């Protein structure tokens, strides 16, 4: 299978002085690679950016704010081999900033968090100018990645579009990946917005370190964390130390990690068992649906 370079790659190539053709001979060793499953029904892996030091997970604080989505981004960022960090934009548009910061810190743990608004970008720019580094911005459409990059560069390199006021969703102002350089040599990679992030492999150990720690203290080693006796995770939920939503997201990403190693028939079988348990239960549900359809026709 031919491997093509992606933005951020370092390559070996030859270039003829007599024409504009360059021939790539090899891709140099990557210290990190951010990737995801390509959108659609296929399970093809789509590389996004290579040789990055920091993945900036960008989320707006308006209606776009979604903790589960941020957790998914964090797991992918850790798996890439780069360091995740979080940027929260549009702080000037919300009245509950403090409560959202408390919520994000519960899932971000020790990750660095930058809060920006339409006028405040200084802390982020100072961070990028402190030393040369390569960073990539990822996040949904409309969260303000292009606006951030324009402010960091000091000129309008990226076209921006209005965000719908009804649901705060943006249109894709970035349609391809681009790399820009700051004055100190730092490199910024912008990516198109991703409303849905299908995970190839997510790093569970780093992203859900708290749940992994609790799981070690369950009474039974094969605990499924579904309310069994002696489950340390459910005990933490009942005490208010862990949210049920975080556990559900943890289990979902675990399944996706498993599915990345399975065939389509194995995935279908696993989903069947998860939804129905066994064939007799599936038959009972099917018969129940049929009886409801008959009752409906009577009217």
Q: Is the pLDDT of residue 85 over 90?
A: yes
Q: Are 186 and 128 in contact (CB under 8 A)?
A: yes
Looking at the domain assignment, is residue 23 inside a domain? no
Q: Is the pLDDT of residue 70 over 80?
A: yes
Q: What is the CATH number of the domain that holds 244?
A: 1.10.40.50
- Give the integer Cα–Cα distance in Å for 145 and 174: 9
Question: From its phi and psi, is residue 139 left (phi > 0), alpha (psi between -120 and 50) or beta?
Answer: left
Same domain, 40 and 84: yes
Same domain, 123 and 184: yes
Looking at residue 174, its pLDDT comes to: 47
Higher pLDDT, 194 or 132: 132
**CB-based contacts of 3-7 (< 8 A; 24+ apart in sequence):** 3/27, 5/50, 6/33, 6/47, 6/48, 6/49, 6/50, 6/177, 7/49, 7/50, 7/177, 7/178, 7/179, 7/189
Same domain, 150 and 38: yes
Same domain, 221 and 241: yes
Looking at the domain assignment, is residue 157 inside a domain? yes
The percent of residues above 70 in pLDDT, for the chain, comes to 73
Q: What is the mean pLDDT of the segment spanning 96-112?
A: 91
Looking at the domain assignment, is residue 196 inside a domain? no
Which of 64, 216, 53, 213 is CA-nearest to residue 140?
A: 64
Looking at the domain assignment, is residue 4 inside a domain? no
Looking at the domain assignment, is residue 97 inside a domain? yes
Looking at residue 196, its pLDDT comes to: 54
Print the domain residue range for 281: 267-299
Q: What is the CATH number of the domain that holds 78?
A: 3.40.50.300
Same domain, 77 and 110: yes
Handedness of CA 261, 267, 269, 272 (dihedral sign): positive
Looking at the domain assignment, is residue 8 inside a domain? no
Q: What is the mean pLDDT of the segment spanning 135-151?
A: 86
DSSP, collapsed to helix, strand or coil, labels residue 218 as coil
Identify the band that residue 264 occupies on the pLDDT scale cut at 50, 70 and 90.
Answer: low
217 half-sphere exposure, CB direction, 13 A CA radius: 9
Q: Is the pLDDT of residue 28 over 70?
A: yes
Instruction: Quote the tokens at residue 271.
Output: 């989903």
Same domain, 155 and 231: no
- Give the integer Cα–Cα distance in Å for 52 and 244: 33
Looking at the domain assignment, is residue 287 inside a domain? yes
Q: What is the mean pLDDT of the segment spanning 288-295?
A: 57
Q: Are 204 and 75 in contact (CB under 8 A)?
A: yes
Same domain, 246 and 160: no
- Give the integer Cα–Cα distance in Å for 170 and 143: 7
Same domain, 49 and 107: yes
Same domain, 79 and 213: no
66 half-sphere exposure, CB direction, 13 A CA radius: 15
Which of 180, 196, 176, 198 is CA-nearest to residue 188?
A: 180
Which run of H or of E encompasses 49? strand 45-50
**Domain final position from 190, 217, 237:** 190
Identify the band that residue 172 occupies on the pLDDT scale cut at 50, 70 and 90.
Answer: very low
Same domain, 213 and 153: no
Identify the band that residue 142 occupies on the pLDDT scale cut at 50, 70 and 90.
Answer: confident
The percent of residues above 90 in pLDDT, for the chain, comes to 26
Q: Are 62 and 144 in contact (CB under 8 A)?
A: no
Instruction: Quote the tokens at residue 104.
Output: 């994000």
Higher pLDDT, 164 or 136: 136
Residue 56: Cβ-neighbour burial (10 angstroms; 0-12, 13-18, 19+): buried
Instruction: Please tell me the pTM assigned to this model.
Output: 0.72
Indicate the number of domains in the chain: 3
CA–centroid distance for 50 within its chain: 16
Looking at residue 30, its pLDDT comes to: 93
Same domain, 246 and 271: no
Which of 181, 186, 160, 184 is CA-nearest to residue 172?
A: 160
Q: Is the pLDDT of residue 299 over 60?
A: no
Which range is most confident: 89-103, 113-127, 195-209? Answer: 89-103
Looking at the domain assignment, is residue 291 inside a domain? yes
**Domain final position from 138, 164, 190:** 190
Same domain, 104 and 162: yes
For the segment 238-260, what is each residue's pLDDT rounded down to a tens digit? 999 998 988 988 888 888 777 55
**Domain final position from 190, 216, 232:** 190
């Amino acid at each position: 299978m031919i491997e093509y370079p992606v933005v951020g790659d370092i390559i070996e190539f030859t270039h003829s002085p007599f024409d504009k053709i360059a021939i790539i001979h090899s891709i140099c060793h990557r210290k990190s690679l951010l990737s995801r499953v390509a959108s659609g029904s296929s399970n093809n892996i789509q590389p996004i950016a290579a040789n990055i030091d920091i993945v900036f997970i960008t989320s707006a604080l308006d209606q776009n704010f979604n903790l589960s989505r941020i957790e998914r981004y964090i797991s992918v960022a850790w798996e890439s081999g780069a360091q995740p960090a979080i940027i929260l934009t549009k702080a000037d548009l919300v009245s509950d900033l403090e409560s959202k910061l408390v919520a994000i810190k519960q899932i971000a743990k020790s990750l660095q968090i930058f809060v920006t608004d339409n006028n405040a970008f200084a802390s982020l720019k100072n961070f990028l100018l402190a030393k040369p580094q390569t960073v990539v911005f990822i996040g949904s459409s409309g969260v303000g990645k292009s606006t951030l990059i324009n402010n960091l560069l000091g000129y309008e390199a990226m076209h921006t579009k209005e965000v719908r006021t009804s649901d705060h969703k943006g249109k894709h102002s970035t349609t391809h990946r681009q790399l820009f350089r700051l004055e100190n040599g730092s490199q910024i990679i912008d990516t198109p917005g991703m409303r849905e992030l299908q995970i190839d492999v997510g790093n569970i150990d780093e992203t859900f370190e708290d749940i992994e720690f609790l799981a070690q203290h369950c009474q039974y080693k094969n605990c499924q964390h579904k309310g069994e006796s002696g489950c340390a995770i459910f005990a933490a939920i009942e005490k208010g130390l862990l949210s049920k939503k975080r556990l559900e997201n943890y289990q979902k990403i675990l399944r996706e990690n498993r599915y990345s190693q399975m065939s389509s028939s194995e995935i279908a079988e696993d989903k069947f068992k998860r939804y129905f348990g066994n064939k007799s239960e599936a038959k009972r549900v099917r018969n129940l649906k049929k009886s409801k359809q008959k009752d409906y026709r009577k009217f």
